[in-house]
């Protein structure tokens, strides 16, 4: 099952709102507010790589108040 971590920059002051919206997306398994270069980290799982790309492109990146994302697709886990 394809897995990715999506690092998200949100508009200033809207981080909680973005996390709330992320949690409504079924394929987002976990999401965290973080300090550093990015504001939010989301763990996303899908049935296929195409579905994973679709979720990131059409659901996460299109959320209101999301400024930018960086997607890290997991190659191997422990």
Which CATH entry fits the domain spanning 3-73: 3.30.70.920, 3.40.718.10, 3.40.630.10, 3.40.1190.20?
A: 3.30.70.920
SS3 readout for the chain = CCEEEEEEEECCCCHHHHHHHHCCCCCEEEEEECCCCCCEEEEEECCCHHHHHHHHHHHHCCCCCEEEEEEEECCCCC
Please state whether beta strands 40-45 and 3-10 pair in parallel, antiparallel, or not at all (unpaired).
Answer: antiparallel
Nearest alpha carbon to residue 2 among 59, 58, 42, 50? 50
The residue extents of the domains of the chain are: 3-73
Does the pLDDT value for residue 77 go beyond 90? Answer: no
The pTM is what?
A: 0.94
pLDDT, averaged across the chain: 96
pLDDT cut 70: percent of the chain above it: 100
- pLDDT tens digits for 26-60? 999 999 999 999 999 999 999 999 999 999 999 99
pLDDT, mean of residues 49-76: 96
Q: What pLDDT score does 37 carry?
A: 97
């Amino acid at each position: 099952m394809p897995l990715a971590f999506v690092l998200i920059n949100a508009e200033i002051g809207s981080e909680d709102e973005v996390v709330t919206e992320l949690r409504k997306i079924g394929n987002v398994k976990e999401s965290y507010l973080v300090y550093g270069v990015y504001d939010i980290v989301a763990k996303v799982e899908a049935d296929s790589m195409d579905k994973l790309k679709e979720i990131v492109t059409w659901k996460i990146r299109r959320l209101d108040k999301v400024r930018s994302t960086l997607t890290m697709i997991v190659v191997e886990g422990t």
